[in-house]
Amino acid sequence: MQKLVIDGGVPLEGEIFLHGAKNSALPILAAALLCNGETTLENCPRLTDVFAACRILTHLGGRCTIQEHTVTVQVRALRSDTIPEALMQEMRSSIIFLGAVLGRAGTCHVSYPGGCELGPRPIDMHLEALRQMGARFSVCGGQLDCTVPDGLHGAVIHLPFPSVGATENVLLAAVLAKGETVLHNAAREPEICDLAAFLRKCGAKISGEGESTIRIEGTERLHGCVHAIMPDRIAGITYLGAAAITGGTLCLKGTDAQPMENMLPTLEQMGCRLYPEPDRLHLLAPRRLRAVPFLRTMPHPGFPTDAQAIFMAMLSLADGVSVLEENIFENRYRHVDALVKMGARIHVSGRTAVVAGVRALSGAAVSATDLRGGAAMVLAGLAAQGRTEVRQISHIDRGYETMELVLRSVGAQIVRKDVPSEGLLRI
Ligand code: EPZ
């Protein structure tokens, strides 16, 4: 196990190059299963979740090579239609392989994905949508067995909620299905658009992505392509937040403002000045951030749930009281206890968190609870007085490439250290 040790109070200043988006790379790696031939993904982030997805691809019969930020996938034929539990458990979003394996093999066997730190992660919408396309499921002993007796066929599907994962699974199942699929109430996240752009390069017939209705005309076969993964908008807002919370300045390169356009107005409302350019974005933080009266998370284009913890860390030090409302996940306030331990004044009631900004936070020993909650603790540690230790940083490594090296490059006093295992201490 490892931890991040942070000595806070240093205003960040400098340039950061933003890595590719985890939440785009993962569904696109699953989509590579559908392609005959070689697929090259550029700007692919070096993250534990991406490496886990490559292991699933390899198990299924793909050949993955990772060189720096380029992943090449070669799929000639599937070797298996089964994803073993160990691989399924390595990352929560492995369920997005279901649509791709069904689309390619017509059968799929996966362990039923469990919940995660964000609460139960049901897949009812995924299964109901795929059932309408001809899939049949049985669950036995935690194993989900899927078949498509008459092959996958197009359908008119209405998602009860614009689920990102369910939208991705429908896209992956529909591109090789017979006939047209019309998906209503589809998720509109930018990562869905990136997936659709990738599939279109491979020969898929897709229109409407980014809007609530997506149309997919099934084709016979898909070929490989070369595709650059879009920038990671959540990692981007995380690093902008690191400069904002420390009263610093940052030039974020490798992206323009567009992927973060539903978060930047809130940063400006908090007193940050932003200067967008075609391939970079500058941020100038105020001496002290201002509170935001009300911030609710919503499906895209609303304020993203993945940014909630990041903004809560910033608002913990803002001048005034902010009210946050988490409307996407049931259990996405697990970072609050750690922020309170560092001196934040936060009260949670159901989906609502009231944050009364304080003048200063104090460093403390905390443990990351989930990916974005862990990032929020790092941001709080960067601004806190004294030393903060963030443990369980495997959560953070799922979504941020060597966060400590990136932050150190702009002046943060942060190092990664090994944590001796409990067993050794007993000896
Ligand atoms: C994706 O998760 C992202 N993960 C999440 O990012 C992100 O927070 C989420 O979308 C919302 O934007 C990846 O893309 C790998 P959902 P996903 O299906 O697809 C409920 C991060 O930090 N639901 O849109 O799992 C579900 O329980 C991660 O990078 C059902 O009830 O999200 C949740 O409450 C965390 N039944 C809500 O919908 C279903 O069948 C949104 O889930 C599916 C979802």
Q: CATH number, domain at 217?
A: 3.65.10.10
Reply yes or no: is the peptide bond before residue 301 cis, omega within 30 of 0. Answer: yes
Q: Clarify whether residues 161 and 269 are in a common domain.
A: no
Query: 305 CB under 6 A from ligand 1?
Result: yes
Distance 123 CA to ligand 1 centre (A): 10
165 CA to middle of ligand 1, Å? 6
Residue 425 lies in a domain: no
- Ligand 1: which atom is nearest the Cα of residue 399? 29
In a domain, 424, yes or no: no
Query: Which residue puts its alpha carbon closest to atom 30 of ligand 1?
Result: 122
What does the pLDDT read at residue 119?
Answer: 74
Is 256 domain-assigned? yes
Residue identifier of the C-alpha nearest atom 34 of ligand 1: 329
- Selected catalytic residue, list 44, 54, 108, 116: 116
Do 56 and 8 share a structural domain?
A: no
260-288 burial code (b ≥16 CB/10 A, e <16) = bebbbebbeebbbebebeeebbbbebeee
Residue 295 domain-assigned? yes
Cα separation of the two ends of the chain? 18
Q: Is 309 a pocket residue for ligand 1 (Cβ < 6 Å)?
A: no
Atom of ligand 1 nearest to the CA of 123: 40
Q: Is the CB of 383 under 6 A from ligand 1?
A: no
Are 215 and 245 in the same domain?
no
Tokens of residue 301, six digits? 């284009």
Q: Are residues 253 and 214 in the same domain?
A: no
Same domain (yes/no): 280, 398: yes
Query: Where do we find the tokens 């460093």?
Result: 363
> How far does residue 167's CA lie from ligand 1's centre (Å)?
10
Answer yes or no: do 210 and 357 share one domain. no
Residue 423 lies in a domain: no
Q: With a 6 A CB cut-off, is 97 part of the ligand 1 pocket?
A: no
Strand order from edge to edge, sheet including 352-356: 294-296, 321-325, 352-356, 345-349
Assess whether the C-beta atom of 163 lies below 6 angstroms from ligand 1: yes
- Number of H helices and number of E strands within the chain? 15, 25
Burial zone of 132 (CB within 10 Å; 0-12 exposed, 13-18 middle, 19+ buried):
middle
Q: Which residue has the tokens 């540690």?
A: 381
Closest C-alpha residue for ligand 1 atom 10: 164
| Closest Cα to atom 26 of ligand 1 | 121
250 - beta bridge partners?
14, 283
The number of domains in the chain is 2
To test the ligand 1 pocket, which listed residue (137, 164, 351, 370) has its Cβ within 8 A of the most ligand atoms?
164
User: Among 228, 247, 263, where does a domain finish?
Assistant: 228
* End position of a domain, from candidates 228, 246, 264: 228
Buried b (16+ CB within 10 A) or exposed e, 324-357: bebebbeebbbbbbbbbbbbbebeeeebebebeb
Whether 66 and 142 map to the same domain: the answer is yes
The range of the structural domain enclosing residue 44 comes to: 22-228
- Contact between 285 and 243 under an 8 Å Cβ cutoff? The reply is yes
Same domain, 164 and 247: no
Q: What are phi and psi of 127, to 5 degrees?
A: -70, -40
Residues 204 and 255 grouped into a single domain? no
Answer whether 126 contacts ligand 1 (Cβ < 6 A): yes
CB distance 399 to ligand 1 below 6 Å: yes
State if residue 384 touches ligand 1 by the CB under 6 angstroms criterion.
Answer: no
**CA separation, residue 262 to residues 268, 301, 304 (Å):** 11, 6, 8
Claim to verify: residue 36 and residue 52 sit in the same structural domain: yes
CA of 121 to the centre of ligand 1 (A): 7
Residues 293 and 338 in one domain: yes
306 touches ligand 1 (CB under 6 Å): yes
Same domain (yes/no): 73, 53: yes
Cα-Cα-Cα-Cα torsion 208, 255, 22, 148, nearest 10 degrees, comes to 20
Which atom of ligand 1 is the closest one to the Cα of 162? 24
Q: How does pLDDT run along the chain (427 residues), one tens digit per residue?
A: 999 999 999 999 999 999 999 999 999 999 999 999 999 999 999 999 999 999 999 999 999 999 999 999 999 889 999 999 899 888 878 999 999 999 999 999 998 876 677 777 789 999 999 999 999 999 888 899 999 999 999 999 999 999 999 999 999 999 999 999 999 999 999 999 999 999 999 999 999 999 999 999 999 999 999 999 999 999 999 999 999 999 999 999 999 899 999 999 999 999 999 999 999 999 999 999 999 999 999 999 999 999 999 999 999 999 999 999 999 998 899 999 999 999 999 999 999 999 999 999 999 999 999 999 999 999 999 999 999 999 999 999 999 999 999 999 999 999 999 998 765 554 4
> Tokens standing for 203?
């020969």
Q: Looking at 228, 248, 263, which one is the last position of a domain? A: 228
Q: What is the CA radius of gyration of the chain?
A: 22
Ligand 1 pocket, mutate which of 121, 137, 163, 230 (most atoms under 8 A from CB) = 163
Q: Is 121 in the pocket of ligand 1 (CB under 6 A)?
A: yes
**Cβ partners under 8 Å of residue 333, min gap 6:** 326, 348, 353
Task: Please check whether residue 426 lies inside any domain of the structure.
Answer: no
Which token pair is 96?
Answer: 């997005």
Q: Is 116 a catalytic residue?
A: yes
Identify the pLDDT of residue 427: 46
